Amino acid sequence: MNDPNESATPPPPSSPPPPPDAQPAPGGPGAEERQWAMFAHLSALVGGLLTSAAGGWGTFIGPLVIWLVKKDTMPFVDDQGKEALNFNITMAIICLVLVILSIVTLGIGLIIAIPLWIIIGIAWLVFTIIASIKANEGVAYRYPFALRLVK
């Protein structure tokens, strides 16, 4: 006898699932919101490059502008914009303290300040890139150290 399962044709393959970026997770941020959150983090790099001749003090201007423009319409951008803004303000404060240390000690503090500026600069770059990638994935990134000045 013939087994009914042997003679049946296999079902047609189903269409492949959409890529993970095509649809947001239920309750998660949409693609546009994730993109603006990523821009909030990356704008610090642009601000740092544009103001590098002045010591890079413009790192918090980009996150501030994006946060102010999008905070009321996009909750994820509100969160990540504040996070980027707080981190970059923290970095600016640390660098300012090192400048003051160098001036008060008549340049002797540069022995400490210059290596710290290098370490801080590398950490700032790495954490900003990580935060940008995580924001683009829809993950609310928290910098390992940042003063929560803007709430």
Instruction: Tell me what the pLDDT averaged over the chain comes to.
Output: 85
- Domain-embedded: residue 54: yes
The arithmetic mean of pLDDT across residues 105-129, rounded, is 93
4 located within any domain = no
Residue with tokens 């102010």: 68
Please say if the pLDDT value at position 20 is more than 60.
no
Distance of alpha carbon 108 from alpha carbon 103, whole angstroms: 8
Q: Does 37 fall in a domain?
A: yes
Q: Write out pLDDT tens, residues 36-94.
A: 999 999 999 998 888 877 777 788 899 999 999 999 999 999 999 999 999 999 999 99
Q: Determine the structural domain holding residue 62 and report its residue range.
A: 30-133
Would you say residue 114 lies in a domain? yes
pLDDT of res. 21: 44
Give percent of the chain above pLDDT 70: 82
Q: Is residue 38 part of a domain?
A: yes
Angle at Cα 30 formed by Cα 39 and Cα 47, nearest 5°? 5
Q: How confident is the model at residue 3 (pLDDT cuts 50, 70, 90)?
A: low
Total structural domains in the chain? Answer: 1
Q: Is the pLDDT of residue 12 over 60?
A: no
Return the H-helix or E-strand segment holding 74.
none
Distance (Å, rounded) from C-alpha 56 to C-alpha 122? Answer: 14
d(CA 70, CA 81): 9
Return the pLDDT at 7: 55
pLDDT computed for residue 49 by the predictor: 87
The count of residues in the chain is 151
- DSSP labels, 66-131: HHHHHTTT-HHHHHHHHHHHHHHHHHHHHHHHHHHHHHHTTTTTHHHHHHHHHHHHHHHHHHHHHH
